[in-house]
Amino acid sequence: MKKSSLLQGTLDLLILRILELGPNHGWGISNRLQQMSKDGLRTSQGSLYPALHRLEMRGDVKSEMTPSDNNRRARMYTMTAAGRKRLQQETQTWNAFALSMRRVLGTNE
């Protein structure tokens, strides 16, 4: 299968999935996304940060500036209860959607 560009709206879902594993900073999330992209999902780093801030404005994640090595500070993102709930819902919706798509298109697994 060819690498397809990330369907709109799925970036939020992926971020929440990564954060479900534990708090992480932007670069860490970006790295995890990169690994995922080897699995066929390609994201651009440029759209990651607006997406993170949008999620925070919506209340799905919260963030805090934390000190990191080399005298720098990084913004550490943590999933909120609302974000966890949203992840569940969106995952269900997505699975249902994917299932219907598979049925329609037939399986080649």
Burial (CB < 10 A; 0-12, 13-18, 19+), residue 90, is middle
Taking residues 68 to 87 in sequence order and writing x for each that binds other proteins by CB under 8 A, - otherwise, the string is x-x-xxxx------------
CB nearer other proteins, residue 17 or residue 75: 75
Amino acid letter at 84?
Answer: R
- Spell 59-89 as b/e; 16+ CB within 10 A means b: ebbebeeeeeeeeeebebbebbeebeebbee
Size of the site for other proteins (CB under 8 A): 20
Task: Find the shortest distance in angstroms from Cβ 48 to other proteins.
Answer: 9
Q: Where are the beta strands (DSSP E) in the chain?
A: 4-5, 24-25, 41-42, 61-67, 73-79
Among 4, 8, 38, 57, the residue binding other proteins under the rule CB under 8 A is 57
Helix H or strand E encompassing 9: none
Taking residues 20 to 49 in sequence order and writing x for each that binds other proteins by CB under 8 A, - otherwise, the string is -----xxx--x-------------xxxx-x
CB nearer other proteins, residue 75 or residue 91: 75
Instruction: Provide the binding-site residues for other proteins, judged by CB under 8 A.
Output: 25-27, 30, 44-47, 49-50, 53-54, 57, 65, 68, 70, 72-75
